[in-house]
């Protein structure tokens, strides 16, 4: 094949969704070297201005009507942007954060785009029970390792909708319950819903499918880490508080100081799990008023501890602004009631001193690194579903990693075996 033909195939691959059964296509993708050309608070294939310019022509068709800079509604000053999609089938408001306004805008717009795709899945679906699929020779995900809902109705003879994904670890196609993949919250749920948790965990967009996959995998690892941290109990949580004076990175120090200068007290917990990817949880409180005001938190997970921390702090600032702006569909009166819990009384854990830099690594190397880490802790499936729409050509993926914990802030969450084992080993 000539170089031109290869390039054309590559371009095509950027717009056509890969079906789960296209083993050659996924194998090709996983060896495609996609370099990072932007690394400031995040790592991306191109600069945020270029991403915005590429997706802007499609915003109207996806129902995105407004990008609003709401930074000035709070006094911290870390950039936060609201993105409105009024006719959505889930959240009509997405939120973006970043170290500057353009990064915050891209993060909000790309989140709205990822949700739009999650609400309009175009991959073919099968209506069958797990037993039927098995009898027809199709491989299904290990459903016993998927996050379940309380009083779930799943059994192996229940007819439900399935979508085909590709398992990066077993390098084979695998069928997944559609409920774990789509992101539509319409009250008339698809056949066979009500078995597994339906969240946006692991849904991500990006400049390239591999870039989106890295973001999605890190998100699933982050939420698993946060659920384990909560399950660990009060003494464990207190032990994980990070000594903020041990942070040397100038950008990290800057976001922390911005909070402090605004009279906001940031505290940070090292929630990293046995997977070994740095993960942090940042809480921010009104200094002197934490008993009577809500505590806001943010999560961050990245190979580079400094990026993980920056993401956690900027997400905490974003959570505060979401409440101030008041326009999210999922807010309730309860969110405005005081929920103050005290800051940790000690913070001994040092922030890593050595600088980790993976900005020269390609995205497929990042995916391979994450896959190897998952296998090391006994995870044997990490399933990707390409949700890219031929209409827009913007890469969107859903990653499902059975065996990791789902987000415990979901009202339907029930601790899985990993959280129960973690709690057990700490007690």
Contacts with ligand ATP, residue ranges (CB under 6 A) = 42, 44, 48, 51, 96-97, 106-107, 110-111, 114, 204-207, 212, 215, 219
Q: How far is the CB of 110 from ligand ATP (least distance, A)?
A: 3
Question: Which 3 state secondary structure label does DSSP give 11?
Answer: helix
Q: How far is the CB of 379 from ligand ATP (least distance, A)?
A: 21
The span from the CA of 379 to the CA of 146, in Å, is: 12
The span from the CA of 387 to the CA of 15, in Å, is: 10
The span from the CA of 172 to the CA of 170, in Å, is: 5
Q: How far are the Cα atoms of 281, 374, 418, 419, 421 from residue 425, in angstroms, in the given order?
A: 22, 20, 11, 10, 6
Q: How far is the CB of 212 from ligand ATP (least distance, A)?
A: 6
Whichever of 200 and 267 has its CB closer to ligand ATP, that residue is 200
Whichever of 44 and 85 has its CB closer to ligand ATP, that residue is 44
Whichever of 110 and 404 has its CB closer to ligand ATP, that residue is 110
Query: DSSP for 326-383?
Result: ---TT--HHHHS----PPPS---BPPP-SPP--TTS-HHHHHHHHHHHHHHTT----E
Q: Are the beta carbons of 222 and 199 closer than 8 angstroms?
A: no
Residue in 184, 62, 52 with CA at minimum distance from that of residue 112:
62
Q: How far is the CB of 114 from ligand ATP (least distance, A)?
A: 4
Helices (H), 36-100: 48-55
Q: How far is the CB of 191 from ligand ATP (least distance, A)?
A: 27
Whichever of 110 and 419 has its CB closer to ligand ATP, that residue is 110
Whichever of 148 and 311 has its CB closer to ligand ATP, that residue is 311
The span from the CA of 388 to the CA of 390, in Å, is: 7
Whichever of 94 and 161 has its CB closer to ligand ATP, that residue is 94
User: Residue 284 corresponds to which tokens in the numbers above?
Assistant: 């921010």
Residue in 148, 136, 154, 190 with CA at minimum distance from that of residue 402:
148
Whichever of 130 and 370 has its CB closer to ligand ATP, that residue is 370
Q: Is 385 left (phi over 0), alpha (psi -120 to 50) or beta?
A: beta
Q: How far is the CB of 232 from ligand ATP (least distance, A)?
A: 21
Whichever of 160 and 198 has its CB closer to ligand ATP, that residue is 198
Q: How far is the CB of 23 from ligand ATP (least distance, A)?
A: 25
- Other beta carbons less than 10 A from residue 20's beta carbon: 25
Q: How far is the CB of 221 from ligand ATP (least distance, A)?
A: 12
Q: How far is the CB of 347 from ligand ATP (least distance, A)?
A: 24
What DSSP element (H or E) covers 172? strand 172-177
Whichever of 96 and 406 has its CB closer to ligand ATP, that residue is 96
Q: Is 17 left (phi over 0), alpha (psi -120 to 50) or beta?
A: beta
User: Residue 150 corresponds to which tokens in the numbers above?
Assistant: 């309380």
User: Residue 252 corresponds to which tokens in the numbers above?
Assistant: 């990290």
């Amino acid at each position: 094949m000539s170089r031109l033909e290869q390039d054309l195939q590559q371009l095509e691959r950027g717009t056509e969704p890969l079906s789960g059964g296209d083993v050659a296509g996924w194998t090709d993708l996983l060896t495609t070297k996609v370099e990072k050309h932007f690394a400031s608070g995040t790592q991306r294939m191109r600069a945020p201005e270029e991403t915005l310019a590429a997706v802007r022509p499609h915003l109207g068709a996806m129902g995105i009507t407004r990008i609003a800079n709401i930074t000035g509604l709070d006094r911290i000053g870390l950039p936060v942007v609201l993105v409105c999609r009024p006719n959505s089938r889930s959240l009509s408001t997405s939120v973006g954060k970043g170290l500057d306004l353009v990064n915050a805008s891209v993060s909000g717009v790309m989140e709205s785009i990822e949700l739009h795709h999650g609400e309009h899945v175009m991959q073919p679906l099968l209506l069958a029970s797990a037993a039927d699929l098995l009898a027809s020779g199709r491989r299904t995900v290990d459903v016993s390792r998927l996050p379940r809902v309380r009083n779930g109705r799943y059994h192996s003879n229940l007819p439900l909708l399935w979508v085909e994904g590709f398992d990066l670890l077993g390098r084979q196609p695998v069928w997944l319950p559609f409920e774990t993949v789509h992101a539509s919250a319409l009250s008339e749920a698809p056949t066979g819903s009500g078995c597994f948790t339906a969240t946006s965990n692991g849904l991500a967009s990006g400049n390239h499918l591999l870039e989106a996959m890295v973001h999605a995998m890190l998100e699933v690892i982050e939420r698993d880490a946060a659920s384990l941290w909560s399950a660990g109990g009060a003494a464990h949580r207190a032990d994980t508080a990070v000594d903020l004076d041990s942070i040397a990175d100038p950008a990290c120090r800057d976001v922390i100081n911005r909070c402090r200068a605004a009279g906001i007290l940031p505290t940070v917990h090292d929630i990293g799990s046995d997977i070994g990817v740095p993960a942090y949880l940042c809480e921010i409180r009104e200094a002197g008023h934490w008993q009577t005001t809500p505590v806001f938190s943010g999560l961050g997970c990245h190979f580079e501890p400094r990026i993980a921390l920056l993401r956690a702090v900027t997400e905490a600032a974003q959570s505060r602004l979401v409440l101030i702006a008041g326009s999210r569909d999922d807010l309730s009166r309860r969110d405005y009631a005081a929920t103050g819990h005290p800051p940790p009384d000690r913070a001994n854990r040092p922030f890593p001193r050595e600088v980790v830099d993976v900005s020269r690594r390609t995205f497929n190397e990042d995916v391979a690194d994450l896959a190897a880490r998952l296998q090391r802790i006994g995870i044997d499936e990490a399933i990707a579903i390409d949700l890219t729409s031929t209409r827009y050509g913007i890469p969107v993926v859903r990653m499902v990693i059975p065996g990791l914990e789902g987000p415990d802030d979901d009202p339907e969450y029930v601790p899985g075996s990993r959280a129960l084992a973690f709690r057990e080993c700490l007690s």
